């Protein structure tokens, strides 16, 4: 039980952080819960199915091939996981009347991402123990949140724009780019010191995420 709490604690810290960053018009808790649940269950199922398809169509068996690890990072893991989150935000959250300002894109995308991260984290932590839990609390979990914020920033803009398709896809592609970069540097850890690139990409993502949050806060139509 203690291990499970350690696994989910960073998830809910990030959820609360984003919830309170939504300063001017809170989202219905029911929709936030549903978004989290869809991320935790539906996104995981979609990801698993697509992974299975990739294993059949495009088996990547050479763990020392930089090209294969690049394909795995960006086109298998990054694309699959972010697409599975994207479609939940796009077809569940974005059409809702409660999604009534650009910042809401960040809120819902993070809720879906944290649902996904919760399920993923529980599996990894139950296998790896407390060391894995602590390591992922400062790496993989905030990484998923960062990808969600970057995606949600553009999906929030898309809801109120005539360029809805383009902006939605910009959000998806940016999340894939940062997710792929983060994983790629970890996947090619056989290259000495290259893993540092993962943390550089994560740091850049966090900086951009903070700017995205502030920009949508400043432009909120509910700001008095």
Summarised one tens digit per residue, pLDDT across range 134-189 is 999 999 999 999 999 999 999 999 999 999 999 999 999 999 999 999 999 999 99
CA distances (Å), origin 150, targets 34, 87, 157, 200, 221: 21, 15, 11, 16, 20
pLDDT score of 2 more than 90? no
pTM: 0.95
CB distance 102 to 159 below 8 Å: yes
Please give the Cα distance from 143 to 163 (Å, whole number): 28
The 10s digit of each residue's pLDDT in 83-137 is 999 999 999 999 999 999 999 999 999 999 999 999 999 999 999 999 999 999 9
């Amino acid at each position: 039980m203690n291990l499970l709490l350690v696994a989910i604690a960073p998830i809910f810290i990030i959820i609360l952080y984003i919830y309170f960053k939504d300063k001017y018009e809170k989202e219905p808790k029911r929709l936030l819960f549903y978004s989290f649940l869809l991320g935790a269950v539906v996104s995981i199922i979609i990801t698993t199915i697509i992974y299975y398809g990739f294993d059949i169509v495009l088996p990547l068996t050479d763990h020392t091939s930089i090209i294969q690890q690049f394909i795995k990072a960006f086109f298998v893991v990054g694309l699959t996981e972010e697409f599975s989150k994207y479609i939940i935000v796009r077809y569940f959250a974005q059409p809702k009347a409660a999604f009534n300002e650009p910042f809401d894109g960040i809120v819902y995308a993070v809720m879906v991402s944290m649902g996904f991260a919760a399920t993923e984290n529980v599996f990894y932590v139950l296998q790896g123990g407390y060391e894995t839990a602590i390591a992922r609390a400062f790496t993989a979990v905030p990484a998923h949140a960062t990808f969600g914020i970057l995606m949600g920033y553009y999906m929030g803009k898309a809801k109120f724009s005539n360029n809805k398709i383009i902006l939605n896809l910009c959000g998806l592609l940016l999340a894939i780019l940062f997710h792929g970069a983060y994983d790629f540097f970890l996947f090619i850890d056989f290259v000495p010191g290259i893993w540092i690139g993962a943390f550089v990409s994560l740091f850049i993502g966090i900086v951009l995420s903070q700017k995205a949050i502030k920009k949508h806060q400043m432009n909120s139509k509910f700001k008095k």
